[in-house]
A and B are shown apart, each in its own frame.
Chain A
Amino acid sequence: MQEECLLTMRGIDKRFPGVHALNGVDFSLRRGEIHALMGENGAGKSTLIKVLTGVYQMDGGEIRLDGESIVIRSPEDAQNKGISTVYQEITLCPNLTVSENMFIGRKSGIVIRHKDREKRADEILQKLGIPARSTQLLGNCSLAVQQMVAIARAVDMQCKVLILDEPTSSLDDNEVKMLFKLMRDLRGQGVGIIFVTHFLEQVYEVSDRITVLRNGELVGEYLTEELPQVQLVSKMIGKELEELSNLGDSEDVKIMQQEVFYEAKELSSSEAMPFDFSIRRGEVNGFTGLLGSGRSESVRAIFGADKVNGGTVTVKGKPVKITRPIEAMKHGIGYLAEDRKRDGIIADLSVRENIILALQVMNGIFKPISRSESEAFADEYIKALNIKTASRETPVGSLSGGNQQKVILARWLLTHPDYLILDEPTRGIDVGTKLEIQKLVLKLSEEGMSITFISSEVEEMLRTCSRLIVMRDRHIVGELTGKDLNQTQVMKTIAGGEA
């Protein structure tokens, strides 16, 4: 019984009105393994996790923990049974100290001995190699450390099963390395880790086993080393992966003959240092660089999203002033913001209302889009972008991340912009939708739309962009085109090594 099963889920069934979210799904987790749970949006990953953590009650099936059949009634119940979750959005309190966060909400006496707790917290932090002190305010730690504190909290609660739901989506490479080291240490201590992520490379770097779900059904369980990446992707999306390398066969020469649509000289904002930038009709270019290098800040300055301080801007050769989003929109510029939740969706409004918002703003307050017209627009784009929603009147907040992103994309496409800025349009969404968005970008550019595409995944940008602007420490440090557009050259330029 070397590989005894820590957790087995058999024939898990869960239905929502109109949706069969989980259809007899099996899942098993062994002691001391990192098990990646993979699938597109809507595959049933989140539902399975929520059944396991007691957020949802399953409609059928059995869960066994340590060989014993258990019923999980609530998240608290799950925690008491040794199943802990660390969510994508950190759910701790930034205004409390690290040790307070580690012990908050846990059963203890009324009298709290802060010193004891701090000592205990420091011990755990040290044992797990987490670079934080117990008396530090959690809000002052980096996101990665905050996440690790959440894990430490779970570990200290004697968790047997640790669920990490998209833990790496807001971390940079170094922080991801730290997190992975911690995960491996915990694996060594016999903890079973369920790892949910969209980053394929990370799955291969850290996981032992992969379970793939699709449309609420189990596709299969595989040993990571025996499943090539291409096959994983095709299992997730349910079809053979198309050859992507020739996706972006851009015709640079043709684009160079097109007129310059937008040009900025010495443009700066409250967040961005002065920079020069231009884009031609039908061109796809991108800003790349590490997190915090200033790529988002630069495109926000183009759109007038932050306070613009200086610089001259021309659109179609005519000098213009863009200091507010509405002015950018009037000049045919659209901007899909980096933070979908904070700057993109209006969660309580329907899919339809979210789609027509930008067009309505451009039409002005006195020319409301009629109900029937807006319904037609919504239906058109739900179909065109293949948005999965129960109806056009569903609140957009209840859609999956990828579909929310498509709604915002639809919102901008409906305004028929000449120039569309996409800031991390593929973050946190599944492989299939990522591909759809990349293809859409190329199709739009062929139709003459200029597009600036920003992504943390350099590969994605290499596939779509014909020109890459590289940023470091809030300055543009290079521009790559043609044969220089490859991973090595990009990395070199980001790192600052010339040779």
Chain B
Amino acid sequence: MKKIGRKLFRGGLGQLTIPIIAIALLAVFNLIRDPGFFSIGIAHNSDGNAVLSGNIISIINGASELAILAIGMTLVTAACGGQDISVGAAAAIAGSVFVKVLKSASSVSGGTVLLAFLLSCVVAMLFGAFNGTLVAVFKIQPMIATLILYTCGRSIAYWINGGATPTISNPILSAIGGFIPGIPIPTPVIIVVVMAILFKLLFRFTSLELFTQSVGINGAAARLNGVDPTFIKLLSFVLLGACVSAAGCIGVSRLGLINHETLLLDVEMDAILAVAIGGNSLGGGRFKIIGSILGAYIIQTLTITLYAMKVSSTNVKAYKAIVIVLLVVIGSPVVKQWFTKLMMRLSENRKKVSAKGAEE
């Protein structure tokens, strides 16, 4: 335990300290409140599959779309020092394209679903490129640039399916939104893991991480070292587009319908929050994807905890706000510096005490 503590606090507060502590505190709080909160059982779903069930599963499952969006949002934040507020609307577009393709196919097979996903992915990446062009080429503030798609995205989604909210039921879709027969883990969770690994590989086999951080910290210097800031910023938006499409398709598969008005409504704010709670600077620069994913799970844990405490859904947002204010303040540079000083003083005292002991 001491070792973990030392690692957590080595050289002041690491980026992941706050999210890890937050998750631990939420876990302890829930354990005290209800010792059975974290019990995981095997249940049988409507298809008769044996699947894992329990609060912890529904937290991790429910946060999937948010976690995926947070990955992409982290990249955009790091490169551009600003956020994309159109991800919810763009996800509605991606979901609509997904359904549109499936509806127009005569029979739905695995191949059709893949094709539908790929098409929705292309569309979402094109919209990402649109946002990225405004930000990277025309140097518009990210929030203003993405405000355009935020405003009109759900209307575009509405046109794609002619104003209808078509339902679509298919075993493949319910496997994507629920469980694959024989696998007890919810599929969206698996998709999050796959996405996280894909991004990890992307950073492992390219130098995108170094370039993105350089552009985010000092674009002028990066340019003079041959990095193309325009390309890096554009790329971050395109990659976010891929995340948006994955999130949108999961959302559609979960419900078995596309509702352009409500699909992933207000998710952009949670996604930005996840990035911030994960210890990433919203001003760009250094980033850790894993922090943002943790941030997404913290937000979801909070929501589920509050629901488990029978807080009405109208009040949940207020309680969430209180916890989030605490997290953000604790993670702020001012408190971090103060804490680092405190730790230094403590360790100095300890040295003095041990030095005294040695003298005696």
Contacts and interface: CB of A to CB of B under 8 A. Distances in A.
B11 to A, nearest CB: 9
B144 interface: no
A411 B225 CA distance: 9
Interface residues of B, number: 23
Given A329-B226, A348-B213, A349-B213, A343 B221 contact: yes
B262 interface: no
Contact of B221 (A324, A346, A365): A346
A432 B205 CA distance: 41
Contacts of B204: 368
Interface in A286-345: 303, 305, 324-326, 329, 335, 337, 342-345
B308 to A, nearest CB: 40
B226 A346 contact: no
A357 interface: yes
B224 A337 contact: yes
A329 B228 CA distance: 13
Given A360-B207, A361-B226, A346 B213 contact: yes
Contacts of A337: 221, 224
A398 B207 CA distance: 24
Contacts of A342: 218, 220-221
A362 B226 contact: yes
A17 B218 contact: no
Nearest to A325: B226
A365 B232 CA distance: 11
Contact of A365 (B206, B223, B285): B206
Determine the main DSSP class of B at the interface with A: helix
A157 interface: no
B285 A348 contact: yes
Contacts of A303: 224
Contact of B224 (A335, A349, A362, A367): A335
B211 interface: yes
B217 A343 contact: no
A343 B211 CA distance: 15
B114 interface: no
A369 interface: yes
A348 B210 contact: no
Interface in B199-253: 204-208, 210-211, 213-214, 217-218, 220-228
Given A329-B226, A335-B224, A361-B225, A346 B207 contact: no
A358 B207 contact: no
Contacts of A363: 207
B344 interface: yes
A100 interface: no
A305 B285 contact: no
Nearest to A357: B225
Contacts of B260: none
B154 interface: no
A267 B344 CA distance: 56
B218 A346 contact: yes
A365 B228 CA distance: 11
A349 B217 contact: yes
B221 A344 contact: yes
A342 B206 CA distance: 26
A346 B219 CA distance: 9
Contacts of A369: 207
Interface in A365-392: 365-369
A279 B76 CA distance: 42
Contacts of A360: 207, 210-211
Interface string A113-144: 00000000000000000000000000000000
Nearest to B213: A349
Contact of A348 (B217, B228, B344): B217
Given A349-B217, A357-B214, A366-B206, A326 B226 contact: yes
B211 A365 contact: yes
B218 A345 contact: yes
Contact of B210 (A324, A329, A357): A357
A346 B217 contact: yes
Interface of A: 17, 303, 305, 324-326, 329, 335, 337, 342-349, 353, 356-358, 360-363, 365-369, 411
Given A343-B221, A368-B206, 18 more contacts: A303-B224, A325-B223, A326-B226, A342-B218, A344-B221, A347-B218, A348-B286, A349-B210, A353-B210, A353-B214, A357-B214, A357-B227, A360-B210, A361-B225, A361-B226, A361-B227, A365-B207, A367-B207
25 contacts: A17-B344, A325-B225, A325-B226, A329-B226, A335-B224, A343-B224, A344-B221, A345-B218, A346-B213, A346-B217, A346-B222, A347-B218, A348-B217, A348-B285, A348-B286, A349-B214, A357-B210, A357-B222, A358-B225, A361-B226, A362-B226, A363-B207, A366-B206, A368-B210, A411-B225
Across the A-B interface, give the 9 residue pairs with the lowest CB-CB distance, nearest first: A326-B226, A361-B226, A368-B207, A348-B217, A346-B217, A325-B226, A358-B225, A346-B218, A360-B207
